[in-house]
Structure 1
Amino acid sequence: MAIITIKFFDVVPVRFNLWIMLFTSCWVVYMLRVNMSLNLIAMVPQTNTNASSRSQCGAKDDGVTNETLHHVDITDVREAPRQVPGGGSFDWSAEQQALILGAYFWCYPITSLVGGMAAERWGPRYVVLISTLASAVFTFLSPVAARMNHVALIVTRFFLGFAGGFIYPSLHVLVARWAPPAEKGKFVSAMMGGTLGTVATWSLTGPLMEKFGWASAFYVPAVLTVVWCFFWWYLVADTPADHPRITDSERKYILEALGDKVKKIKGLPPLKSIVTSFPFLAMVVLHYGNLWGLYFIMTVGPKFVSSVLGFELSAAGVISALPYLARMFLATIFGAIGDCILAKKMMTTTTIRKFFCIFSHIIPGVLLVLLVYAGCSTALSVALITMSMGFNGAATLTNLQNHQDLAPNYAGTLYGIANFVGSTAGFFTPMITAYFTRSGNSFEHWRPVFFVGASVYVVSAIFFILFGTGNIQSWNFGREDTTEEKEDREKNGDLKEMNGTTAKKVETKDVKETSLNVG
């Protein structure tokens, strides 16, 4: 069966295989990242009392019970805890559980910062392969660590996050080396695979634990990840030139489309040129605004619906997944639209990046403001949250792709730096929410929270529209692009568009003398 599957992959275009592997790579990363939040429910004994404060919105007058959304309108809900085979083994406090969950992110931003540099130097194929294999090993060891004590599990989660930080920047390096400009939107949209990975993991982990116990929720994802690593090793190469089974026509198409913008660079990236580049700064600001809005909706949105409207969004599996599914679906649509516009030359790259900021940042910001004025209309609130995150899928044409425009040779480095800065939004959004809602959960208390979130969305977009660009930067070629190398490339005709007289350099001496004599 495995041989038949491999044969199938060999007959389809390599770029299609790569898209699948990019998508599933993000799926695997999130599967190993988010499973702990659900596993802890089975591992730690749950109390019989689930206290919930009264929401501002009271019970519906029509007497209709919304079982799908699980309307909570009483101050104390008592229900028997749901028992899981092999569950309730650990008596960990809430603080200890928080440390277990948070340990993943202690080193994740740091390795995200250097992950792109590692992939540019040693190749994204092996960086992703080794990081993912390490993640599978640490996941497989998690039940053993948990039975030792919570500190051992914290250490395991720490190293899991350490390995996971390398993966996303490395994937962007792979996109830069493989994706023709006319297809880059589709390739970047594959990065939304983590969204489906989150939904699928949360949906399947529960039944798995109920039947086989909580340890199976670690073992099964780990084994699946090892199987995935085999396909990654067989199907993926660092560049089209390195792939052993790509057709000559497909290799030629990719290399000609990329031109001389992408090449293997030795040594460290030109960090001074990068951090002092204003177009790069504009991209970082836009990326920060995107992550702020994303973290905002993921954390603050459900809490608002729960504490103010009185609905537990997390209790409805399908509805709680809607915003994430909408973002993934619309990201694919926006990516295809952007590729079509670029292929037909309807807009320049810079215009595309700036125009679609309206969809990725400004419209989601406006929808956040409208959310706080939706009142007690639950359906409208859920629709606004879903649309806000859905339109943010257009980020595949803005901040998630702009670093590829500025310097495809250092796409991983640029993404790593931007992601390192943007990750701080995950710390600030809960702090701001806690500050404004410290004295209550009324609409009046929450309005400033949404205004701040919307402002970061919109201001970052305006900043990029004013100062951003989609043009490649001179430092893309690094320190190796010396005067001698430029002359060599001119002789080969690579810089004809930049210098109209370059073609004359390849004329023979006899032709030049003939021209002079005629003159």
Structure 2
Amino acid sequence: MKEQNETEKEPILHKEDAPPILPIRYIIVFMCFIAVTLNYATRMNLSVALLAMVPKDGMNLSTSNISTTSDTRHLHIKQAVRVRVSGLVYPAVFNLVTNWSKLSERSTFISISASGFGFGPVIASYLSALLCSTDFLGGWPSTFYLFGVLGLIWCIGWCIVGSNQVTSNRWISTIEKDSILCSQKTDEFKSINVRQYKVPWKQIGKSPVVWTLCVCNIAFNFGFFLLLTNVPIFFKTILRFELKMTGLLSTLPHFVFFIVMLFGGVLADALIFHKILSAISTRKLLAFCALGISPIFLVSIGYVANKELAVVILMIVVFGMTALYIPSVEANVLDISPNHSGLIIGLMSSTSHVCGFIAPEIVGILTRSGNTIYQWRKIFWIAASLQVFGLVCFLIFGTSEVQEWTGDDNTDTELNEGKRNEYRLLSHNSK
């Protein structure tokens, strides 16, 4: 029986002492990337499908006015449920990346996983527009069948190879597992036994640093969801592009968003670890690009709408600059509390994802009297103002210092205090 138990613990793909041909952590981070991709692809395909469902003349963009048919009404109900459930994806991915990455790989893995933000809308814009232009499976319904099937395939794959912890994965080699665990032990905070502290809910709820991140996320998500759901509508109704052209052009800004996000994490790490800038200076510099410069280009779109090429270029610049939000504000979560990063990301997401409902409704209210460029100028000004407000909050209150409540449950034991001081010293020296 003992020999059988030991055999069951051996890795499936590798011999116990053999180096891995393909490290399992690479597969895990790829699965995280696909999860985020599908999550945001299913948001984008609704926008394209609505263009194929509603009447072309006199289209009003408010959620309440679009939902005039049985199909669109049921679709919005299902979308509301899906958005609430999908809000769990990103915090889960953040925790998985923290558990599965070496310290030297963490920023890169987070950037790769989060880049699904941009890649999901890229494939959804093009494929949804293509399918909506055909009679395959009824036209627009086929877009939901496609991404629904892909989601089921992902779930099957995750059940086979995925796990929350390195130690519970059946496919990982002993060499890779030891390598990850040894790397994480150099993180002085993670070396504290998690059973020695509880989640400091009260301290997190009262932390001005955490609420600053929440305000920034609300500002970012309002603009992001506004563009995510309305770029195809803007191209179709204001620039008068055909549906196929709308889908194709909608992919370009998201593709740039995807590329910039991938390299943004690498840039942030280079600036910090080569001591070109301190950690907080790096975060605030990139945040200034994401929430300070991009609003200028966003507002400019409303004043050059008669020049299609200029609008497309400005939209691409807006998305590219906005992508730097991930390696700045969201990466700052790991700076202030590596132990509770998933929890804080979840709090940030839950307070900001309401923008997914508010942004389209504001668009509908402002375009109720007519879908013209003058209404869109107001929309862009609102989004830009919120982003600048979020930036100001982060520039004033943002910090990269590890918070006092990160490592313990309000019991200031000598062990936890010592670990906290060591980690703070390491963090200070890396700036």
TM-score class, shorter-chain normalisation, is 0.7 to 0.9
Instruction: State the secondary structure of the residue aligned to 1:231.
Output: helix
Q: Deviations over 1:290-329 (max 9, x none)?
A: 1011122234544444444444577432211111111111
Task: Give the structure 2 partner of residue 195 of structure 1.
Answer: 118
| Equivalent-residue separation in structure 1 for 2:162 and 2:308 (angstroms) | 46
The aligned runs of 1:53-452 (5 Å cut-off) are 94-104=68-78, 106=80, 158=81, 160-161=82-83, 163-189=85-111, 190-204=113-127, 206=130, 210-211=135-136, 221-243=147-169, 244-247=172-175, 250-261=179-190, 265=194, 269-311=199-241, 315-452=245-382
Taking the aligned partners of 1:40 and 1:448, their CA distance within structure 2 comes to 23
Conserved 8 A contact 1:287-1:418 = yes
Deviation at 1:204, TM superposition (A): 4.1
* Structure 2 SS opposite 1:258: coil
Q: Which amino acid aligns with 2:187?
A: L
- 1:199 partner amino acid: V
Q: Deviations over 1:92-128 (max 9, x none)?
A: 973433433333454xxxxxxxxxxxxxxxxxxxxxx
The answer to whether the 8 Å contact 1:177/1:239 transfers is: yes
1:22 — aligned with what?
Answer: 32
Letter in 2 for 1:470: S
Taking the aligned partners of 1:336 and 1:298, their CA distance within structure 2 comes to 25
AA partner of residue 168 (structure 1): Y
Is 1:305–1:381's contact at 8 Å kept on the other side of the alignment?
no
> 2: CA distance between counterparts of 1:496 and 1:93?
57
Gaps of 5+ in 2: 1-11, 60-65, 427-431
Closer/same/farther in 2, CA of residues 228 and 290 from structure 1, 3 Å limit = same
- Partner residue, 1:487: 415
Offset of residue 374 of structure 1? 1.6
Shift of 1:442: 4.9
Greater displacement, 236-245 / 329-338: 236-245
Question: Is the deviation greater in 408-417 or in 213-222?
Answer: 213-222
Relative to structure 1, the CA distance from residue 203 to residue 444 in structure 2 (aligned partners, 3 Å threshold; closer, same or farther) is closer
Q: Distance in 1 between matches of 2:237 and 2:374?
A: 13
Taking only aligned residues, the RMSD between alpha carbons, in angstroms, comes to 3.7
Deviation of 1:434 after TM superposition, in Å, equals 4.2
**Which digits, 9 at most, give the CA deviation of each residue in 1:190-246, with x for residues without a partner?**
222253234334544655974566787666655544443343244433334444425
Deviations 1:383-423 (A, max 9, x none): 11111012111112123222222222222221111111112
Are the equivalent residues in 1 in contact too, given 2:292–2:391 (CA < 8 A)?
yes
- How far the C-alpha of 1:370 sits from its partner, in A, is 1.4
Residues in 2 aligned to 1:478 and 1:314: alpha-carbon distance in whole angstroms: 55
In the alignment, is the contact (CA less than 8 A) between 2:122 and 2:252 conserved in 1? no
What amino acid does structure 2 have at the position aligned with 1:50?
K
Quick one: higher RCO (CA 8 Å, sep 6+), 1 or 2? Answer: 2
Q: Distance in 2 between matches of 1:168 and 1:497?
A: 26
Separation of aligned partners in 2, 1:287 and 1:94: 32
Cα contact 1:297–1:385 (8 A) shared by 2: no
**Residue 225 to residue 447, structure 1, CA distance change in 2 (3 Å):** closer
Q: 2: distance between equivalents of 1:367 and 1:275?
A: 35
Q: 1:218 to 1:306 in 2, by over 3 A?
A: closer
Instruction: Give the fraction of aligned pairs with identical amino acids, expressed as a percent.
Output: 23
- Paired with 1:346 and 1:324, the residues of 2 have a C-alpha distance of 30
Match of 2:62 in 1: none
Distance (whole Å) between structure 1 residues aligned to residue 247 and residue 126 of structure 2: 7
Greater C-alpha Rg: 1
Which residue does 2:21 correspond to in 1? 11
Secondary structure of the residue aligned to 2:304 is: coil
| Separation of aligned partners in 2, 1:371 and 1:238 | 44
- TM norm structure 1: 0.66
Letter in 1 for 2:107: G
Alpha-carbon distance, 1:33 to partner: 5.5
Alpha carbons of structure 1 residues 387 and 314: separation in structure 2 relative to 1, 3 Å: farther
The aligned amino acid for 1:24 is: I
Cα distance between partner residues in 1 of 2:69 and 2:229: 19
Q: What's the secondary structure of 1:408's corresponding residue? A: coil
CA contact (8 A) 1:240 1:254 kept: no
> What's the CA shift string for 1:459-500, capped at 9, x where partnerless?
211210111112221211241x6334x33784xx88557699
For normalisation by structure 2, the TM-score amounts to: 0.78
Q: Check the 8 A contact 1:18/1:236 in 2, yes or no.
A: yes
Separation in 1, partners of 2:79, 2:131: 27
Unaligned stretches of 5+ in structure 1? 54-91, 107-157, 501-519
Query: Are the counterparts in 1 of residues 335 and 400 from structure 2 also a CA contact under 8 Å?
Result: yes
Q: Distance in 1 between matches of 2:115 and 2:106?
A: 14
- How many angstroms does 1:39 deviate by? 6.8
Q: Which moved more, 1:22-31 or 1:280-289?
A: 22-31
> Structure 1 residues 306 and 474 mapped into 2: Cα distance closer, same or farther (>3 Å)?
same
Q: Residue 144 of structure 1 aligns with which residue? A: none
For 2:390, the aligned partner's letter is S
